[in-house]
Amino acid sequence: MAPVQVKKICCIGAGYVGGPTCAVIALKCPHIQVTIVDLNQARVDAWNSPDFNLPIYEPGLEDVVRQARGRNLFFSTDVDKGIREADLIFVSVNTPTKKSGVGAGFAADLNYVESATRRIAAVATSPKIVVEKSTVPCRTAESMRTILEANSKDGVRFDILSNPEFLAEGTAIADLFSPDRVLIGSLQSQEGKDACAALASVYANWVPRERILTVGLWSSELSKLAANAMLAQRISSVNALSAICEATGANIDEVAHAVGFDSRIGPKFLRASVGFGGSCFQKDILNLVYLSESLHLPQVAEYWRQVVEMNEYQKKRFSKTVVDTLFNTITGKHIAVLGFAFKADTGDTRESASITLIRDFLLERAYVTVYDPKVEEDQMWMDLAEALPSMPLEQIKKQVTIVHSALDACKQKEAIVIATEWKEFKEIDWEAVYAQMSKPAFVFDGRMILDEAKLKKIGFTVKVIGRGDRL
């Protein structure tokens, strides 16, 4: 049996992974029809919007969609049609951390993966290559295969592949155009290898063959968790060192720069901050904790759990610094928070440190004004309501104001907190801001993006994470 020549692809899930990934596949493979399906009508309508007001913000994404949409890239709510017509199906649905039941707080909720798999089995009438694209626990493919084989019509054949994404939000399109590697896992049977070769041939339209890694199915699934865990571990490690720097008078920027020169370590992911966020790092580490506990490896589980605990400690430490610096109380005080997304160049707020900071400020009965260039107001209210379940939304809205410029956010405030490293925050007219602030005026830089000396010269009291005051 020769590898299938892929002519039609269906992606189930039009979110942060499925949308950009399959849009780039469509752009790079004009001979392949790519249909992205989702049950969320509003999301599909946004992808199809005439003015390209796409449901997610990612630099370069609009240009990709403009070139491919209507040519060989389509967005639809007709999931069944997409499944029936496709040779290859990406399953790219949400896999959030479970909130209840066995493994709550750690294990991945695979409800959406199971629903999508059952739909494929119920609808498919011809052989399909089914590809895990969502981040999933190790051996999820085995469960998917069991569901497909038990529910398929007339013995339709399914081959399961694992093809985890390694995108960084904010650079996803660049990552897709020139990936470090494309990882494809398959069963090591001839059929599995043929399915693997079929998907590899799709990526080979623009990715050099030496960057397309083919491995076993379980190794592929675990590699995704391992990569995110190792990256998050570096962030938590440098953040732990930032606390020591503040206590001793050292400068974490200088320490990280010196450490990064070691060729065995390298400079990436050694930038201190108020804490990592996003859809993957915390979820994947907790998943690894749960897997370790399930395998009766408590010491391994505790090791990885500490990475997440260090991240939470960093956020609490930063909010405490704000309170301590503002004369040990922020009750009734007005604070500007610049940035609500978990990082720059994305509108994603999942696990954003900003949410934790604002929650802490509100519990101290402070008034907060928020600005972010890409996060919608509705998303902010929803995130804050979830973070403060015991506080009525009406009360939250009494303490929080959302504005549409950084300058508006900073007017008449006692303190400014930089929570996301948006480029525009570096370019603020700080002298104009200082003139309109209550004195003494404070700036708390949780992302290490501002010119500390310049701000101090203007008259601000500046606190930068990871920099001590002693000489």
Report pLDDT digits (tens) over 344-373.
999 999 999 999 999 999 999 999 999 999
- With pLDDT > 90 as the criterion, what percentage of the chain qualifies? 84
**Beta-sheet pairing, 182-186 with 158-162:** antiparallel
Average pLDDT over residues 430-441: 95
Q: Which of 10, 22, 196, 280 is catalytic?
A: 280
Amino acid (1-letter code) at residue 33: Q
Average pLDDT over residues 135-155: 77
- Angle, helices 281-294/217-248, rounded to nearest 10 degrees: 110
Within 10 angstroms of residue 52's Cβ, the number of other Cβ atoms is 14
Residue 172 is encoded by which pair of tokens? 């996803």
Residue 264 is encoded by which pair of tokens? 């065995």
Which has the higher per-residue pLDDT, 221 or 293? 293
pLDDT at 447: 95
CA atoms of 207 and 179, how far apart (whole Å): 7
pLDDT at 137: 63
8-207 to CATH, choices 3.40.50.1980, 3.40.50.720, 3.30.830.10, 1.10.3720.10: 3.40.50.720
Task: Report the alpha-carbon angle 173-237-286, nearest 5.
Answer: 70
Tell me if residue 280 is catalytic. Answer: yes
Burial degree of 184 (CB within 10 A; 0-12, 13-18, 19+): buried
Which has the higher per-residue pLDDT, 108 or 364? 364
Q: Is the pLDDT of residue 2 over 70?
A: no
CA atoms of 153 and 404, how far apart (whole Å): 54
Residue 240 is encoded by which pair of tokens? 């732990």
Averaged pLDDT of the chain: 93
pLDDT at 279: 82
Amino acid (1-letter code) at residue 6: V
pLDDT at 148: 87
Nearest to residue 321, comparing CAs of 464, 451, 440?
A: 464
pLDDT at 184: 96
Report pLDDT digits (tens) over 314-336.
999 999 999 999 999 999 999 99
CA atoms of 238 and 252, how far apart (whole Å): 8
- The DSSP result for 49-86, as a single string, is -TT---SS--TTHHHHHHHHBTTTEEEES-HHHHHHH-
- With pLDDT > 70 as the criterion, what percentage of the chain qualifies? 98
Average pLDDT over residues 206-220: 95
Are 116 and 93 spatial neighbours (Cβ–Cβ below 8 Å)?
yes
Are 350 and 375 spatial neighbours (Cβ–Cβ below 8 Å)?
no
Average pLDDT over residues 23-36: 98
Report pLDDT digits (tens) over 63-85.
999 999 999 999 999 999 999 99
CA atoms of 441 and 432, how far apart (whole Å): 12
What pLDDT band is residue 151 in, cutting at 50, 70 and 90?
A: confident
Average pLDDT over residues 101-121: 82
Q: Is the pLDDT of residue 48 over 60?
A: yes
Burial degree of 246 (CB within 10 A; 0-12, 13-18, 19+): buried
Residues of the chain with CATH 3.40.50.720: 8-207, 249-464
**Helix or strand (DSSP H, E) at 289:** helix 281-294
Rg (CA), the chain: 24
Q: How many CA atoms lie within 13 A of 141 on its CB side?
A: 27
Q: Is the pLDDT of residue 146 over 90?
A: no
CA atoms of 269 and 281, how far apart (whole Å): 13
pLDDT at 147: 86
What pLDDT band is residue 468 in, cutting at 50, 70 and 90?
A: confident
* Three-state secondary structure readout of 128-176: EEEEECCCCCCCHHHHHHHHHHHHCCCCCCEEEEECCCCCCCCCHHHHH
Please tell me the class of the 249-464 domain: alpha beta
Among 95-99, 214-218, 392-396, where is mean pLDDT lowest? 95-99
Are 34 and 9 spatial neighbours (Cβ–Cβ below 8 Å)?
yes
pLDDT at 101: 79
Q: Is the pLDDT of residue 56 over 60?
A: yes
Are 375 and 347 spatial neighbours (Cβ–Cβ below 8 Å)?
yes
CA atoms of 315 and 282, how far apart (whole Å): 14
Report pLDDT digits (tens) over 388-404.
999 999 999 999 999 99
Q: Is the pLDDT of residue 108 over 70?
A: no
Average pLDDT over residues 289-296: 93
